[in-house]
């Protein structure tokens, strides 16, 4: 079950903070949607939700992934 206060707070993150939270695993089950909302604040990000999820899943496999670099790559579409 999603904690609504935490979900709402995740949505207020900046795009780079949301990517960092994703990379750090600093979110709970079902809260990916809140992180996607925050990531989409970067108008360069035009990928679908599924594409963002897939991209972030791949980024999690990278050692020492950098949040800003990931956001920039995510924004390239």
pLDDT per residue, tens digit, the chain (77 aa), is: 568 999 999 999 999 999 999 999 999 988 999 999 999 999 999 999 999 999 999 999 988 899 999 999 999 97
DSSP letter assigned to residue 27: S
Q: Where in the sequence is the domain holding 15, given as residue range(s)?
A: 4-75
Name the token pair of 35: 């992180």
pLDDT at res. 34: 97
pLDDT at res. 58: 95
pLDDT at res. 63: 85
* CA–CA separation, 30 and 32 (whole Å): 6
Cα-only R_g, the chain: 11
- Total structural domains in the chain? 1
Which of these, 30, 60, 51, 61, lies nearest to 74 by C-alpha position? Answer: 51
């Amino acid at each position: 079950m999603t904690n609504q206060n935490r979900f709402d707070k995740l949505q207020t993150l900046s795009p780079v903070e949301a990517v960092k939270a994703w990379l750090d695993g600093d979110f709970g089950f079902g809260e990916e949607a809140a992180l996607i909302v925050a990531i989409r604040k970067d108008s360069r990000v035009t990928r679908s939700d599924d594409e963002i999820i897939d991209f972030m899943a791949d980024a999690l496999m990278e050692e020492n992934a950098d949040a800003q670099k990931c956001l920039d790559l995510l924004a390239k579409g």
